[in-house]
Amino acid sequence: MTGPQKAIKVLSIIIVIVGILALIAGLTTCAGSAALVGAGAEASAADQDMYALGAGMFMVLAAGAIITGILNLIIGICGIRGAKDPNKIMPFFVFTIIGLVIAAVGLISSLASGVNDPTTLVSNVVEVVLMAVCVYLAIEVKKLRS
């Protein structure tokens, strides 16, 4: 196994773990939004609108986390598979390009919206760099195909 293959395997395991954590966060947020709606059932009519708005925002966040988690799981699984056999690296390559585009859009939208939270910005930058490194490594492994 070459250096790029080993790196893809390690990064893919990390990406699978991040994907699982994102899925758990998304499902937890989804459950929290349902609890918020339930909590607002006893509130006045004006307050119920605020509870519903909050629950809707939580659902959007939950959907984003779930989609990101699923994409990360796909990338990680394809990476582990492609690291073992260079002939099976193409799905990893394609999904990392998709992940890179999504990460870049997320970073640009954070910067454009004026997000001042360093954690969010660093997270977005790390995601872009990670996906860019994975694309580079996939290109290197593609060269090994027979």
Residue 8 CA to residue 79 CA, distance in Å, equals: 6
Higher pLDDT, 128 or 114: 128
Q: How confident is the model at residue 41 (pLDDT cuts 50, 70, 90)?
A: low
d(CA 34, CA 52): 10
| Angle in degrees, 0-180, between the axes of helices 118-142 and 3-39, rounded to the nearest 10 | 140
Residues of the chain with pLDDT > 90: what percent? 53
Residue showing tokens 């990101």: 68
pLDDT for res 52: 77
Interval 44-95: pLDDT, tens: 777 777 777 777 888 888 898 899 999 999 999 999 999 998 999 999 999 9
One-letter identity of residue 11: L
